[in-house]
Chain A
Amino acid sequence: MRLLLRGGRVVDPTQDLDDRLDVLLEDGKVAALERSIEAEGAEVVDAAGKVVTPGLIDVHVHLREPGQEYKETVLTGTRAAAAGGFTAVACMANTVPPNDCRSVTEHILGEAQRSGFARVYPVGAVSKGLQGEELAEVGELVDAGVVAISDDGRPVWHPELMRCALLYARHFDVPVVQHAQDRELSGAGVMHEGGASARLGVAGIPAVAEDAMVARDLLLVEDTGGRYHLQHLSSARSLELIRRARDQGLAVTCEVTPHHLLLDDEDVFESGLDPNFKMNPPLRAARDREALIAGLRAGFIDLIASDHAPHHPDEKEIDFVDAPFGIVGLETTVSLCLDRLVGRGLVPLRRLVELLSCAPARAFGLPGGTLRPGSPADVTLIDLEREVVVAPSAFQSKSRNTPFAGWKLRGAPAGTVVGGKLVWPTSP
């Protein structure tokens, strides 16, 4: 099976490429990149006027299967990924039951195989049952196919558990992926603790709840020599801690979400406590948001991930305090980044490709993230000019919970190729 992507602007930072080239995909691999390729019998996709990048990878999504299929399934979640320009996702372990053993991992991989819309890389639990007490059988999980371990949703709180997880994961060379938050400091908080929460009388989650945990974790990383990935970095001070750890040469990576880059606690206030502005970590202060953008530009932040967290509409109505944390992101991330980061000159396109493709592949040790010949034939096409309006009712995801409804954005995914097959848009 051959697919020829003709005449697109190929942007691949791993080959230092930004050029008009044809891309030939053959037998699930990238076969050739040349000025002009004649491939008789190949299916041809006209990529003229489009950007051709290594397939985008979102290393932080919740597919909700097994157990919460009313929110999302592997099928709907990967379809949302494909529609959003992602060829692969890493899905978190906080399913019901949690992904802490082989049978759950295999179930997820089986569903992914059947769906075919995007590659799915399961993340296993750090602790049995996500209880934060005993290590999960990481060896069995890695053998079954997990690419990292995380108790995401619940921080690994116990210092000895974190120390052991960092040590033990070294046997399998997988990163320990942490939602860093001290639960005693976050307490019953539901939004960033600051001026907006003070005016609203809402219990806050102070930034130091993240900072304190990041500081502790980084000391443990130093002692153990472990691999650590910090999820959804939200505070300026945590960023500074990460920067110092990298200066020290620790094996530390971090991600930031589009919403933490583009929104802050004043937006929560302005929304009138719309539950679609509730996520954990919360939208921080404007100065945190500005620091994150600066960190992204300076290269201290490795990658962008969406923390796609679908919830049923009934769960996100009316009451901010009782609503669950989280928003969907697979179908908004690319356009948000193109318009607000690239379009506004904050981040060059090449850097965005790094943030959404090459760096996630590196951080999680995944195949892909490059168009070097011989690599998996996972490609994303991007239309820089197309204007879109975020319309939750049109999402492929089962859920609609986004604070970006109605945003007008310039730039959108235009095609998703997985394993050499155009999976999105689906053929009529």
Chain B
Amino acid sequence: MSERPIWRRKDLLGVAELGADEINLVLDTAESFREVAERPVKKVPALRGKTALNIFFESSTRTRSSFEIAEKRLSADSVNFSASGSSLEKGESLLDTTRNLEAMAPDVVVIRHGHPRVPHALAARIASRVINAGDGAHEHPTQALLDAFTIRQHKKRLDGLRVAIVGDLEHSRVLRSNVLLLRTMGSEVVIAGPRTLMPAGVEALGVPVAYRLEDAIEGADVVMMLRVQLERQGRMRLPSTEEYFRLFGLTRQRLRLAKDDVIVMHPGPMNRGVEIASDVADGERSVILEQVTNGVAVRMAVLYLLAGVQG
């Protein structure tokens, strides 16, 4: 690994600040961790003696489990700190939480928060390395990296691809991080969804916007579907899940508009029959479960680059 470029950042806060070489470094590092998952003993000593603290202010099953598995496979001591039932919910200020963290001095803090840039603010105030596991609808860098890893596995490249991202554009951190990453790597991204789930100023994301699913996925190498949470958005924005599926649901028939070797992705958790038909989700073009598998390898890579290399 000595000829590789060296990771110089203290934290991984967003894709916005990453260059192509840094993205490639994470993905290449993840390649070498992928085979760990196939061993009978799925553990390497890279982070032995290090402490990773996973703080989730928002509930999450898969992202937290994925980080925890990644930490354990690297032999780090991992501690989970969930907001519900803790002092965080009892009105402790974020400032005090920060000071407490600093006093405990973990090596790595993995944080998810419902508000944008809280991990950034935290990272600027503590010596520990900080990984953003999702900040509001802003960024989710490890998700975009694992998506890129999955795309690269199938397409052997990350440039010159046409990627369609469809769904709730307003509330999706997955969208924002993926748009940033894919543009940095030289792919073309088209985004689509109902106008009521698009932020005003959506053009500031710098990619073309389509208002029909068909227009977005035509000729696509990759189709990424985003979760729609009707219960959260309310009936003023969307009349029903059925209507959403009729207009923006990914069906087998619609998928024919994409390239023959298209791959279908979803960050999960999926709403079957809302944004994606079951036969597409489970079909031969779907790589949705591979994304989950790759998530562990990519998070191992990020943890290793942040906390393992310097020893």
Chain A residues with a Cβ under 8 A of chain B: 193-202, 204, 206, 272-273, 314, 317-322
**A318 in contact with B204 given A198-B199, A199-B176, A201-B176 (CB within 8 Å):** no
Residues on A with C-beta less than 8 A from B122 are 318
Smallest CB–CB gap between A185 and chain B, Å?
Answer: 11
CA distance A320 to B93 in the complex (A): 13
Smallest CB–CB gap between A193 and chain B, Å?
Answer: 5
Contact call A318/B200, Cβ cutoff below 8 A: no
Residues on A with C-beta less than 8 A from B170 are 201
CA distance A197 to B198 in the complex (A): 12
**A201 in contact with B171 given A314-B93, A318-B98 (CB within 8 Å):** yes
Contact call B176/A204, Cβ cutoff below 8 A: no
Contact call A201/B173, Cβ cutoff below 8 A: yes
Interface centre among A318, A320, A321 (most CB of B within 10 A): A318
Residues on B with C-beta less than 8 A from A272 are 117, 120-121
Smallest CB–CB gap between A316 and chain B, Å?
Answer: 10
Residues on B with C-beta less than 8 A from A206 are 200
List 5 A–B pairs whose Cβ atoms lie within 8 Å, in order of A's numbering: A196-B201, A198-B204, A200-B138, A202-B116, A202-B137
Is B20's beta carbon under 8 Å from chain A?
A: no
Contacts between chains A and B (CB distance < 8 A), count: 80
- Chain A proximity mask over B114-139: 1 for CB below 8 Å, otherwise 0: 11111011100100000000001111
The closest CB in chain B to the CB of A184 belongs to B236
Contact call B116/A273, Cβ cutoff below 8 A: yes
Is B289's beta carbon under 8 Å from chain A?
A: no
CA distance A307 to B122 in the complex (A): 30
Contact call B95/A201, Cβ cutoff below 8 A: no
CA distance A194 to B203 in the complex (A): 9
Contact call A195/B136, Cβ cutoff below 8 A: no
Smallest CB–CB gap between B275 and chain A, Å?
Answer: 19
**A273 in contact with B117 given A201-B176, A314-B95 (CB within 8 Å):** yes
Residues on A with C-beta less than 8 A from B6 are none
Smallest CB–CB gap between B182 and chain A, Å?
Answer: 15
Contact call B202/A198, Cβ cutoff below 8 A: yes
Contact call B204/A194, Cβ cutoff below 8 A: yes
**A318 in contact with B201 given A201-B171, A202-B138, A272-B117 (CB within 8 Å):** no
16 other contacts beyond A198-B200, A201-B170, A320-B115, with CB at 8 A cut-off? Answer: A193-B201, A194-B200, A195-B203, A197-B201, A201-B136, A201-B138, A202-B116, A202-B136, A272-B120, A273-B116, A273-B117, A273-B120, A318-B94, A319-B121, A321-B114, A321-B115
The closest CB in chain B to the CB of A201 belongs to B137
Contact call B173/A317, Cβ cutoff below 8 A: no
Contact call A320/B199, Cβ cutoff below 8 A: no
CA distance A322 to B116 in the complex (A): 11
Is B205's beta carbon under 8 Å from chain A?
A: yes
CA distance A238 to B95 in the complex (A): 38
CA distance A199 to B137 in the complex (A): 9
Q: How many positions in chain B have a CB within 8 Å of any CB in the partner chain? A: 30
Smallest CB–CB gap between B197 and chain A, Å?
Answer: 12
- Chain A proximity mask over B193-222: 1 for CB below 8 Å, otherwise 0: 000000111111100000000000000000
CA distance A318 to B124 in the complex (A): 10
**A201 in contact with B116 given A318-B94, A318-B98, A318-B121 (CB within 8 Å):** yes
Smallest CB–CB gap between B256 and chain A, Å?
Answer: 32
Residues on B with C-beta less than 8 A from A319 are 94, 113, 115, 118, 121
Contact call A199/B173, Cβ cutoff below 8 A: no
Residues on B with C-beta less than 8 A from A317 are 93-95
Residues on B with C-beta less than 8 A from A201 are 116, 136-139, 170-173, 176, 199
Instruction: Identify A200's interface contact among B94, B95, B117, B202, CB under 8 A.
Output: B117
Smallest CB–CB gap between B170 and chain A, Å?
Answer: 8
Contact call A198/B138, Cβ cutoff below 8 A: no
Residues on B with C-beta less than 8 A from A199 are 176, 201, 204-205
Interface centre among A197, A204, A314, A319 (most CB of B within 10 A): A319
Instruction: Identify A198's interface contact among B118, B120, B173, B201, CB under 8 A.
Output: B201
CA distance A200 to B120 in the complex (A): 13
Smallest CB–CB gap between B18 and chain A, Å?
Answer: 16
CA distance A198 to B120 in the complex (A): 18
Residues on A with C-beta less than 8 A from B95 are 314, 317-318
Residues on A with C-beta less than 8 A from B114 are 321
Smallest CB–CB gap between A267 and chain B, Å?
Answer: 15
**A320 in contact with B117 given A201-B137, A202-B137 (CB within 8 Å):** yes
Residues on B with C-beta less than 8 A from A204 are 199-201
CA distance A204 to B114 in the complex (A): 15
Contact call A196/B117, Cβ cutoff below 8 A: no
Contact call B115/A322, Cβ cutoff below 8 A: yes
Instruction: Identify A195's interface contact among B113, B120, B201, CB under 8 A.
Output: B201
The closest CB in chain A to the CB of B236 belongs to A184
CA distance A199 to B179 in the complex (A): 10
CA distance A195 to B200 in the complex (A): 7
The closest CB in chain A to the CB of B136 belongs to A201
- Chain A proximity mask over B135-147: 1 for CB below 8 Å, otherwise 0: 0111100000000
Residues on A with C-beta less than 8 A from B203 are 195, 198
CA distance A22 to B205 in the complex (A): 60
Smallest CB–CB gap between A380 and chain B, Å?
Answer: 38
Smallest CB–CB gap between A274 and chain B, Å?
Answer: 9
The closest CB in chain B to the CB of A202 belongs to B116
Smallest CB–CB gap between B89 and chain A, Å?
Answer: 13
Residues on A with C-beta less than 8 A from B98 are 318
CA distance A201 to B125 in the complex (A): 23
Smallest CB–CB gap between A142 and chain B, Å?
Answer: 40
Tell me the chain B residues, 151-172 only, with Cβ under 8 Å from chain A: 170-172
Contact call A195/B204, Cβ cutoff below 8 A: yes
CA distance A90 to B29 in the complex (A): 62
Residues on B with C-beta less than 8 A from A196 are 201, 204
CA distance A198 to B172 in the complex (A): 10
CA distance A322 to B202 in the complex (A): 24
